[in-house]
A and B are shown apart, each in its own frame.
Chain A
Amino acid sequence: MTTDAAQIRIKSRTRKAWTPSQIVLTLLGVAVSAVFLAPLAWALFTSLKSETEAVEVPPHWLPKEWTGQAWKALFETGNITDWFVNSLVVSVCVTSIVLTVSALAGYGFARTEFRGRNVLMGVVMAGLMVSPAVLGVPLFTTVQQMGMVDTYWGMILPQCAPAAMVYILYKFFQGIPKELEEAAFIDGAGRWRVFFTVVVPLARPSLAAVGIFTFIASWNNFLWPYMVTNNPDLMTMPNGIATVMNSYGIQWAQLMAGGLMAGLPLIVVFVFFQRQIVSGVAHTGLAGQ
């Protein structure tokens, strides 16, 4: 694996000649990217127009008068900083809890024996089919009974039992050679010590992929926070922005500015971690199984 990665890196550093087929492919790539990015460019330009200019017919790409008023209004009138903090708290908590419990569970299912393991594994697999979208109403009444409506816990905990992540890590742990652990046992290490010093370091790329996808999913989760919060102070970015639109009427320039604000953190994360994300996906066996 390590040598593969090194080879790929070397290959991408050496400059290749522009063959005709590469020119055609690159032009195609540019065209497709333009289609993908056009809506985002449109959002950005709109956020820099005045509200009246934003709704002019026919529409035009660039603002005639560039103004930051939508961005300013966003910070002055909305609770956008609160929503940002809420999103951050919820996503960071969900990601840490999911990483911890699913790594432990994936390992437990893959590498330990205990009574009822296979039955439990089957039950967890059935959980792949249950989501807040499928069982939103009973899940809400459950959380309501626990007194967690309109609380951080109510937003966080129900997102923390993703069977899919356990399954991905279970598959990965099954692929680790047993000899690695046995050697450590013979050297006198206990089960937990082996887990933390041998298994977790090996699983780092998979854990990174699981963590990043959990973070993206949690940051962008709309449905569950929408169901479980009514208090505007507790809303996350996606919800806050969706409600701005309902309560103030449609202010497009401001809405686009808010949307870009909500999307920006993940885009930054992805720019920095994309190599790990792609190799993590390859390592988890998600791609290969």
Chain B
Amino acid sequence: MTTTSAETVIAPARARTAADSATVRRKQGFQHGGWFVAPFLLLFVLFVTWPLLRGVYLSFTDANIAGDTASFIGLDNYREALHDSMMWDSLGRSAYFTLLVVPCITVLAFLLAMLAHHIERGKWLWRLCFFMPFLLPSTVAGNLWQWLFNSGTGMVNYVFGLDTPWLTDKSYAMLAIVIETLWWTVGFAFLLYLAALQGIPGHLYEAAKLDGANAWHRMVHITLPMLRNITGLVVALQILASLQLFDQSVVMMDFGPGPENSTRSFVQYTLEEGFTSYRVGYASAISIIFFVIIAAVALARMWLLRNREEGAR
């Protein structure tokens, strides 16, 4: 439907000269777009820009949550943060979690998408099965796995005949959270891959078949190169999401820091400083440090992308 109506609209425009359309563009507001952007910008300034600036300001004060008058203390918060081993530990933990989760999710999502794409029957059923966990709230997924990993009544140990203290031993706690995260979130990346697979033109494969390429060649020379952009997107989104680990770990550890503090993530530490210790100034300072780190990761990615594009040219 949309295609036909679009074509009929295009036709008269093509008949006109280029000079005509330039005048039109100038006259008919391809200008004054400010009003389109204004509602979003209002919300954006109130709830993103302003809190960010406020965070920068608060990070130089000793503000507390009650809103008592804060006094300016310069760089003291940042100086303290540099020597705060709890902060560095929690930052390291979030980074470690990211390093474990991102490659696993990317590979797993790709394999699941290939599977769902190539089975000819019941496509909707595979999509539903692999995506369903992502539809659960993080708290529900967390509670469910907290219980599956329970060493006495839990199904994980029972099914695999293990006796592992998943949630009470520091060497297993983070692994348990990683497994839960894989199950819970792989569906989103799976769906992105599936959509990308469906977007690869079929004639590429047919041409390759005529040239005698086998399944392995077709995958290495067509599928994987065609999926390079989506892989970049999946990895970037997963890095940002994983660095912000919070929901899964606090729910599975009953809102605590895990055995011997082994699962306290960076976000959790920030919120503890802000809401439990009431140190808003300090919490803001470490939030800003975190923001800078995330921004650095994002900029590094953009820089790599640009270099790759130039290299390709």
On A, residues with C-beta under 8 Å from B are 1-2, 8, 12, 16, 22, 25-26, 28-29, 32-33, 36-40, 42-43, 46, 54-59, 97, 100-102, 104-105, 107-109, 111-114, 117, 120, 123-124, 126-131, 133-145, 157-158, 160-161, 163, 166, 177, 179-180, 182-186, 190-191, 195, 198, 201-202, 204, 216, 219-220, 222-223, 227, 237-239, 241-242, 245-246, 252, 255-256, 258-260, 262-263, 266-267, 270-271, 274-275, 277-279, 281-282, 286-289
Asked if B47 contacts A158 (CB within 8 A), the reply is yes
User: How many Å lie between the Cα of A263 and that of B187 in the bound state?
Assistant: 15
**B206-224 residues at the A interface, CB under 8 angstroms:** none
- Can you give 28 A-B contacts (C-beta < 8 A)? A16-B120, A59-B153, A101-B43, A107-B36, A130-B52, A134-B267, A136-B267, A137-B270, A138-B58, A138-B287, A141-B280, A145-B67, A160-B43, A163-B44, A180-B13, A182-B21, A183-B12, A186-B12, A191-B32, A201-B2, A222-B247, A238-B140, A256-B143, A256-B144, A258-B140, A274-B128, A282-B199, A286-B233
Asked if B104 is an interface residue, CB under 8 A from chain A, the answer is no
Q: A26-B119, A120-B41 are in contact. Are A108 and B36 (CB under 8 A)?
A: yes
Given contacts A59-B153, A220-B135, 11 further A-B pairs with CB under 8 A are A2-B3, A12-B120, A39-B145, A111-B33, A138-B51, A138-B58, A138-B284, A141-B67, A179-B9, A262-B136, A286-B192
User: Chain B residues with Cβ under 8 A from A32's Cβ?
Assistant: 112, 115, 129-130
Q: Across the interface, name the chain B residue whose C-beta is closest to A270.
A: B135
Asked if B37 contacts A135 (CB within 8 A), the reply is no
Cβ of A265 to closest chain B Cβ, rounded Å: 9
The bracket for how many chain B residues form the interface is 35 or more
Asked if A252 contacts B147 (CB within 8 A), the reply is yes
User: Chain A residues with Cβ under 8 A from B21's Cβ?
Assistant: 179, 182
Asked if A36 contacts B31 (CB within 8 A), the reply is no
Asked if B290 is an interface residue, CB under 8 A from chain A, the answer is yes
User: Chain B residues with Cβ under 8 A from A102's Cβ?
Assistant: 40
Q: Which of A1, A109, A262, A281 has the most CB of B within 10 A?
A: A281
User: How many Å lie between the Cα of A69 and that of B293 in the bound state?
Assistant: 49
Q: A259-B143, A278-B194 are in contact. Are A29 and B291 (CB under 8 A)?
A: no
**B42-81 residues at the A interface, CB under 8 angstroms:** 43-44, 46-52, 54-55, 58, 63, 65, 67
Asked if B127 contacts A278 (CB within 8 A), the reply is yes
Asked if A131 contacts B244 (CB within 8 A), the reply is yes
User: Chain B residues with Cβ under 8 A from A143's Cβ?
Assistant: 47
Asked if A25 contacts B50 (CB within 8 A), the reply is no
Asked if B96 is an interface residue, CB under 8 A from chain A, the answer is no
Interchain Cβ contacts within 8 Å, total number: 333
Q: A237-B137, A259-B140 are in contact. Are A129 and B119 (CB under 8 A)?
A: no
Asked if B121 is an interface residue, CB under 8 A from chain A, the answer is yes
Asked if B196 contacts A223 (CB within 8 A), the reply is no
Q: A36-B183, A129-B294, A137-B274 are in contact. Are A1 and B195 (CB under 8 A)?
A: no
Cβ of B31 to closest chain A Cβ, rounded Å: 5
On B, residues with C-beta under 8 Å from A are 1-3, 6, 9-10, 12-14, 16, 20-21, 24-25, 28-37, 39-41, 43-44, 46-52, 54-55, 58, 63, 65, 67, 112, 115-116, 118-140, 143-145, 147-148, 152-155, 158, 183, 191-192, 194-196, 198-199, 229-230, 233, 240, 244, 246-247, 251, 254-255, 267, 270-271, 273-275, 280, 283-284, 287, 290-291, 294-295, 298
